[in-house]
Amino acid sequence: MTTPVLNERDRALLSGELGDGTAFAMRLVVRAAEVTGARRLIDVTRAHVDSCLYHGEATLDFVRRLADGHARVSVPTTLNVGAVDLLHPELNRGDPRVADRGRLLMDRYRALGARPTFTCAPYQLADVRPAVGEQVAWGESNAIAFCNSVLGARTNRYGDFIDIAAAITGRVPEAGLHLTEPRRATLVLRLADDVPETLRDADVLFPVLGIVLGRRAGSSVAVIDGLAHGQSEDRLKALGAAAASSGSVAMFHVVGSTPEAPSLDDALQHRAPGAVELIHLAELRAVR
């Protein structure tokens, strides 16, 4: 197991100079670095946190520990959806106690300094969208896929607890999709000749194609070839959301439409793919 090299600020956070809550968060980040084999940590400029969704008392226990240790987010941080509708609480038909606990959890994350956006599409907020190459720590599967693929920013899949730890420390392991080489497509998915041009330019194709992408790619990075260049963000959003649901896709390329794939060769980082697979019309119909 790799032990990451920590800088002076990292060590200060770890030692508790900024409070017990921040030290706790830093221990989580360092442990994540050890598990992923990262040699060092890097700064992130912003975070999107999914931990605000109530899954039981453990979620409240965790944020309470951070709050009791006086932790605060150190980078601009948005919040994913919570367990209750704050605008229409009267519509809740579930257990009122669960709704109350879910609302309390949302409040606790706001108290850490996070922005109460409560959206699974933070990229729709103009002042939240990261730039190409920007290092961020995002949770929420569809947002992660959009961030890496459509915006060209860099994030790994940050699940519950490690997402808020990154937001508090402003640090993440230098590993995975934060690096250039792992963003290389290893699988080429090409639309077969039996897929008609009318379907290739139809909105309905993209969520269906995303299901196929997720099933074929799993957690690897794939590039889709055979679509017209300059596809809209809405189409790419539908593609990525479906792929993140049917697989564990955190990044994909579409030749001529995503920032790191102006050409197929660019998406492959000028290397041979591991595999080239065709997607036939029958498979798309079966998914739909």
Look at residue 103 and tell me whether its pLDDT is greater than 90. yes
Q: What percent of the chain has pLDDT over 90?
A: 93
Amino acid identity for residue 285 in this structure = R
pLDDT in tens, 1-19: 788 999 999 999 999 999 9
User: What CATH number has the domain spanning 43-170?
Assistant: 3.30.499.10
Distance CA 19, CA 80 (A): 26
pLDDT in tens, 31-57: 999 999 999 999 999 999 999 999 999
Pairing state of beta strands 275-279 and 47-49? Answer: unpaired
Look at residue 92 and tell me whether its pLDDT is greater than 90. no
Hey, where are the domains in the chain? 43-170, 181-287
Q: Write down the H helix ranges in 129-181.
A: 141-146, 162-169
Average pLDDT in the chain: 97
Distance CA 45, CA 22 (A): 17
| Residue 150 CB contacts under 8 Å (≥ 6 apart), including other chains | 123, 233, 236, 237, 240, 258, 259
Look at residue 288 and tell me whether its pLDDT is greater than 80. no
pLDDT in tens, 115-132: 999 999 999 999 999 999
* Three-state DSSP class for residue 167: helix
Residue 48 pairs with which residues in a beta bridge?
A: 78, 138
| Residue 50 CB contacts under 8 Å (≥ 6 apart), including other chains | 80, 139, 140, 158, 159, 160, 163
For residues 202-215, give the mean pLDDT. Answer: 98
Distance CA 133, CA 123 (A): 15
Query: Is the Cβ–Cβ distance between 175 and 281 less than 8 Å?
Result: no
Look at residue 270 and tell me whether its pLDDT is greater than 90. yes
Which of 111, 243, 233 minimizes the C-alpha distance to 189?
A: 243
Q: What is the pLDDT of residue 86?
A: 80
Look at residue 112 and tell me whether its pLDDT is greater than 90. yes
Q: What is the pLDDT of residue 88?
A: 83
Query: Is the Cβ–Cβ distance between 112 and 67 less than 8 Å?
Result: yes
